[in-house]
């Protein structure tokens, strides 16, 4: 085994699995090398079989996902885009975007994927801006990455990441003129009125360091008010608007791949469950399973009485082994026969509904969990 082969294996595990990469560092040297080589081989086999790159469909040659968005940002002449994690920077560059890229996940010490990305950015001269949310991290970056551009994150009532107001000046001092502070980022909750919170935090932040503000989840009127109140540039983070988009701007579809007529008493699926309707009906096989994000949705507690009743009804249906699927056939959503498979799902359709193989059907999916096979522009 050559050093070049081992180095390639290290890159594979660093980019393909953050958790595996971290865990492997605790192994003895010989075992570590065997581990990363085995991972690289399994990763390669999996990617070839599934037609993906490092376990992600977003990097496929069809131009979907991050590469497509990066290309569109370049066409619109945007000067900066943001990504969730350091591992996504390469896809943005592959899409043709040459401007600055902000990594929204705050920097933490010892992350091999982040360090490799920063090394590559330094060698290529490409613009990367790291988010910093702790004073200790600002101190560490000032020592290890002098000259790096950073954006300081403010702790809001979300209580996720960020510096508290009493830490602002300490964070600025920790940069010690060795890190270039390009802005403050204020990530607000999505519900409620938070203009005053944004104003108070922004005022304290700018007093500590007079740089632009990057703000999310304010409406147009609130943003205008904040801009008039502050003496620095206020930029809007538009990720939520772009990512979720308008519901009428896109649709998810699937197709029927098989239809089976079944009678009372027959058992179907992996778990051999009995046909749910004593009158019989149809087991319809449709494209789309867990690998596409089917039946994977973010937990959203009911805020209204209607939402709470809907959740309660869904719980009763689940208890009786009936779970509503996202697939619509014959004008309504149909129940799963059993939990979705990896690339396909079995849904139950009554006998009186006409279903044909090859028919296109609508699928209700969240943009944040969907991983489609292809993106078609109309």
Helices (H), 211-349: 220-229, 239-244, 305-319
Mean pLDDT for the chain overall: 84
Residue 260 burial (CB count, 10 A): 12
Q: What are phi and psi of 219, to 5 degrees?
A: -80, 180
Handedness of CA 341, 39, 96, 369 (dihedral sign): positive
Structure tokens at 247: 């519901």
Structure tokens at 309: 């009743």
CA proximity to 102, closest of 210, 212, 8, 204: 212
**Measuring CA to CA, how many Å separate 307 from each of 51, 205, 300, 313, 332?**
39, 39, 9, 10, 19
Instruction: State pTM to two decimals.
Output: 0.71
CA proximity to 158, closest of 216, 235, 241, 204: 216
Which residues neighbour 141 within 8 Å (Cβ) at sequence distance 6 or greater?
Answer: 107, 130, 132, 148, 150, 179
Work out the angle between the directed axes of helices 168-175 and 135-144 (0-180°, nearest 10): 10
CA proximity to 84, closest of 329, 368, 373: 368
pLDDT reported for residue 59: 31
According to DSSP, the residues that pair with 216 across neighbouring strands are 187, 237
The tens digit of pLDDT for each residue in 46-75 reads 655 444 555 544 333 333 578 888 998 999
Q: Is the pLDDT of residue 5 over 70?
A: no
Strand stretches in 30-135, DSSP E: 80-83, 100-103, 128-132
pLDDT reported for residue 317: 39
The tens digit of pLDDT for each residue in 285-322 reads 999 998 888 987 655 555 555 554 444 444 433 444 57
Of the CATH numbers 2.70.98.30, 3.40.190.10, 2.40.37.10, 3.40.50.20, which one belongs to the domain with range 252-363?
2.40.37.10
Identify the weakest region by mean pLDDT among 15-19, 181-185, 225-229: 15-19
Q: Which CATH number applies to 57-244?
A: 3.20.20.10
**Measuring CA to CA, how many Å separate 123 from each of 49, 117, 252, 274?**
33, 10, 40, 61
Strand stretches in 161-246, DSSP E: 180-187, 213-216, 234-237
Q: Rounded to whole angstroms, how far apart are CA atoms 91 and 54? A: 12
According to DSSP, the residues that pair with 20 across neighbouring strands are none
The tens digit of pLDDT for each residue in 162-217 reads 999 999 999 999 998 899 999 999 999 988 899 999 999 999 999 999 999 999 99
Q: Is the pLDDT of residue 365 over 60?
A: yes
Give residue limits of the domains in the chain.
Answer: 3-50, 57-244, 252-363
């Amino acid at each position: 085994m050559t050093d070049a082969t081992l180095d390639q294996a290290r890159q594979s595990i660093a980019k393909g699995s953050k958790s595996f990469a971290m865990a492997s560092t605790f192994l003895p040297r010989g075992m570590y090398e065997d581990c990363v080589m085995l991972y690289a081989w399994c990763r390669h086999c999996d990617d070839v079989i599934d037609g993906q790159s490092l376990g992600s469909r977003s990097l496929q040659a069809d131009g979907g996902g991050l590469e497509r968005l990066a290309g569109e940002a370049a066409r619109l002449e945007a000067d900066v885009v943001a990504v969730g994690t350091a591992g996504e920077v390469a896809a943005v560059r592959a899409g043709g975007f040459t401007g600055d890229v902000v990594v929204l996940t705050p920097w933490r010490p010892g992350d091999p994927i982040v360090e490799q990305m920063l090394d590559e950015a330094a060698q290529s001269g490409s613009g990367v801006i790291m988010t910093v949310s702790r004073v200790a991290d600002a101190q560490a970056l000032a020592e290890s990455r002098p000259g790096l551009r950073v954006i300081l994150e403010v702790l809001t009532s979300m209580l996720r990441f960020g510096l508290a107001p009493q830490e602002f000046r300490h964070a600025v001092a920790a940069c010690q003129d060795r890190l270039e502070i390009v802005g403050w980022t204020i990530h607000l909750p999505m519900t409620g009125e938070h203009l005053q919170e944004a104003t108070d935090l922004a005022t304290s932040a700018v007093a500590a360091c007079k740089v632009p503000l990057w703000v999310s989840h304010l409406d147009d009127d609130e943003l205008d008010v904040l801009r008039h109140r502050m003496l620095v540039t206020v930029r809007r983070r538009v990720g939520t608007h772009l990512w979720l988009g308008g519901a009428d701007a896109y649709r998810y579809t699937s197709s029927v791949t098989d239809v089976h007529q079944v009678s009372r008493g027959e058992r179907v699926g992996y778990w051999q469950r009995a046909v749910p309707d004593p009158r019989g009906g149809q087991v319809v096989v449709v494209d789309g399973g867990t690998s596409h994000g089917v039946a994977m949705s973010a937990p959203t507690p009911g805020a209204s009485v209607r939402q709470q009743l809907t959740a309660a009804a869904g719980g009763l249906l689940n208890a009786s082994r009936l779970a509503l699927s996202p697939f619509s056939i014959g004008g309504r959503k149909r129940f799963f026969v059993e939990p979705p498979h990896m690339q396909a799902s079995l849904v139950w359709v009554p006998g009186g509904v006409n279903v044909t193989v090859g028919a296109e059907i609508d699928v209700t999916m969240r943009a944040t969990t969907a991983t489609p096979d292809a993106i078609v522009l109309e």
